[in-house]
């Protein structure tokens, strides 16, 4: 069982054998990864601060030596990202066997508070259709219905 440790410097809580590496992808590596349609279909769509939708600067980091699927590990990485790179909003993503942290900045105001969304490309629809064993057209229809339900739900809430 895991011992409960009081919050402090997260690196101190880790065992020696966990050598966590966080490496920024080069622009070339980033562009290669974003060519993966499946990976790139989940992408920045709108700045939460100024509403800009046109272009976003994406930064990606590869993570090795730790899991990223639980809150402890995510908090650990978040702490280091904030300390070393100065941003707080990030997504934990997996592509194949590789783990990444993705963050985006608004092309207009530079904000790091960016909304991400899935773009339903044909590839994504076919993949979903295989998973749920329903024809792609029907999956598309259901997703559209779900999206409009979510959107009307969100507009009822106060938006920042």
Interacting span for Zn ion (CB under 5 A) from 25-33, 49-57, 66-74, 137-145: 49-57
Task: Please say which residue, 33 or 47, places its beta carbon nearer to Zn ion.
Answer: 47
Interatomic CA distance for residues 9 and 13, integer angstroms: 7
The CA-atom distances, in angstroms, between 6 and each of 3, 9, 12, 15, 93 are 10, 9, 11, 16, 27
Size of the site for Zn ion (CB under 5 A): 8
Q: What are phi and psi of 104, to 5 degrees?
A: -140, 150
Structure tokens at 96: 């194949």
From the list 89, 95, 111, 113, which residue makes contact with Zn ion (rule: CB under 5 A)? 111
Min dist CB 50 to Zn ion, Å, is 3
Task: Please say which residue, 51 or 65, places its beta carbon nearer to Zn ion.
Answer: 51
Interacting span for Zn ion (CB under 5 A) from 37-45, 63-71, 79-87, 101-109: 101-109
Task: Please say which residue, 39 or 52, places its beta carbon nearer to Zn ion.
Answer: 52
Min dist CB 73 to Zn ion, Å, is 30
**Which residues in this chain contact Zn ion in the complex, by CB under 5 A?**
47, 49-50, 52, 106, 108-109, 111
């Amino acid at each position: 069982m895991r011992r409960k440790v009081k919050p402090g410097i997260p690196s101190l809580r880790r065992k020696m054998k966990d050598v966590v590496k966080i490496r920024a992808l080069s622009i070339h590596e980033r562009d290669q990864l974003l060519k993966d349609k499946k990976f790139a279909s989940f992408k920045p769509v709108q700045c939460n601060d100024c509403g800009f939708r046109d272009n976003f600067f994406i930064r990606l980091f590869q993570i090795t030596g730790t899991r990223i699927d639980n809150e402890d590990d995510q908090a650990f990485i978040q702490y280091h990202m904030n300390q070393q790179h100065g941003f707080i909003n990030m997504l934990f993503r997996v592509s194949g066997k590789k783990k990444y942290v993705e963050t985006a900045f608004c092309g207009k105001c530079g904000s790091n508070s960016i909304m991400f969304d899935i773009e339903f490309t044909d590839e994504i629809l076919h993949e979903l259709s295989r998973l749920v064993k329903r024809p792609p057209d029907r999956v598309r229809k259901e997703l559209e219905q779900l999206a409009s339900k979510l959107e009307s739900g969100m507009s009822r809430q106060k938006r920042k």
